[in-house]
């Protein structure tokens, strides 16, 4: 059996039908059950191929990266992630900004989208970009695009998620909801993390910010372990990256921080989609 042909066929199948890729073992049972052990690496590859595209950058000082972000847009659209886009960044006064839309129009010689205008205006120490592949066709439009923003622990934060969780939809925050649609999992995940971080900070007055995020992530897996939780969470100073157990590096939480005083450290570019990391414009592979 030709592996390239098999990969192409399964990728087309899950993208067109929007099969839940996190249960894609079902597809393998029907297609290559006899040889499943020999093709296990395809499972991870296909999961990556049908996830949203997410890119985060952490700089030592305010920085612009329009060429990098434009290349990322082209790669994302080439992969078919055209169900919405978003850019998150921070102003000099530490206020978070999230610009979201779903206006992508692909013509023969050009791509029409306001994304190209936005990335030329962004200058920030932390930049987060998300191109969405909707897991459910009915959840489409600018209001479903990532990232989201919220204020907690005396800072403003931005959040973008890559994956899906069915059980998290049942979560009822004791605070305010970030999105009105009860079918949308990503805002529920952000609400859960926010609530647990606040819970941790109230219990451990001298606890660290990393400790709060780590506590929130651990509780997320304990209570809603059926989901997939690749995400980026950032305030104006630090950036947290969680790689889910579905990822080859398994469940790991990273904290990225760039020294602000000279000599400045190298910039970190992080993507949660390994297929995108093969491009030459990404500087760090986690």
CB 234 within 8 A of CB 126: yes
In CATH, what class is 52-277?
A: alpha beta
In the structure encoding, which two tokens stand for residue 1, read together? 């059996």
Q: What percent of the chain has pLDDT over 70?
A: 72
Q: What is the pLDDT of residue 103?
A: 82
CA distance 43 to 21: 9
R_g over Cα of the chain:
19
Residue located via tokens 């989201």: 148
pTM of the model: 0.78
Q: Which pLDDT tens digit goes with each residue over 247-272?
A: 544 568 888 887 777 766 667 777 75
Of the candidates 104, 107, 111, 105, which has an alpha carbon nearest to the alpha carbon of residue 84? 104
Which residue numbers in the chain have pLDDT < 70? Answer: 1-51, 135-137, 245-251, 263-266, 272-286
CB 162 within 8 A of CB 133: no
Continuous H helices in the chain: 3-17, 25-31, 40-49, 66-78, 115-118, 185-203, 209-223, 274-277
Of the candidates 119, 117, 121, 113, which has an alpha carbon nearest to the alpha carbon of residue 69? 119
Continuous H helices in 50-109: 66-78
Residue ranges per structural domain of the chain:
3-48, 52-277
């Amino acid at each position: 059996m030709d592996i390239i042909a098999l990969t192409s066929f399964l990728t087309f199948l899950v993208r067109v039908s929007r099969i839940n890729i996190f249960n894609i073992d079902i597809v393998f049972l029907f297609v290559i059950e006899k040889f499943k052990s020999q093709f296990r690496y395809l499972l991870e590859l296909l999961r990556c191929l049908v996830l949203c595209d997410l890119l985060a950058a952490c700089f030592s000082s305010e920085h612009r990266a329009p060429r990098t972000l434009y290349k990322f847009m082209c790669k994302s659209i080439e992969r078919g992630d055209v169900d919405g886009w978003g850019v998150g960044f921070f102003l000099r006064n530490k206020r978070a900004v999230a610009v979201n839309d779903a206006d992508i129009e692909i013509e023969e010689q050009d791509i029409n989208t306001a994304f190209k205008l936005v990335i030329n205006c962004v200058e920030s120490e932390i930049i987060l970009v998300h191109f969405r592949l909707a897991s459910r066709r009915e959840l489409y439009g600018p209001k479903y695009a990532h990232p989201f923003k919220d204020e907690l622990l005396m800072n403003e934060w931005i959040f973008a998620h890559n994956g899906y969780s069915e059980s998290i939809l049942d979560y009822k925050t004791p605070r305010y909801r970030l999105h009105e649609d009860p079918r949308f999992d990503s805002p529920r995940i952000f609400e859960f993390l926010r609530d647990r971080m606040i819970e941790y900070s109230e219990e451990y007055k001298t606890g660290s910010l990393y400790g709060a995020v780590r506590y929130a992530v651990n509780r997320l897996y304990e209570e809603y372990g059926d989901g997939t939780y690749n995400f980026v969470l950032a305030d104006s100073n630090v950036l947290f990256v969680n790689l889910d157990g579905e990822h080859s590096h398994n469940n790991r939480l990273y904290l990225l921080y760039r020294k602000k005083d000279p000599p400045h450290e190298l910039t970190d570019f992080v993507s949660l989609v390994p297929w995108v990391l093969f491009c030459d414009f990404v500087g760090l592979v986690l």
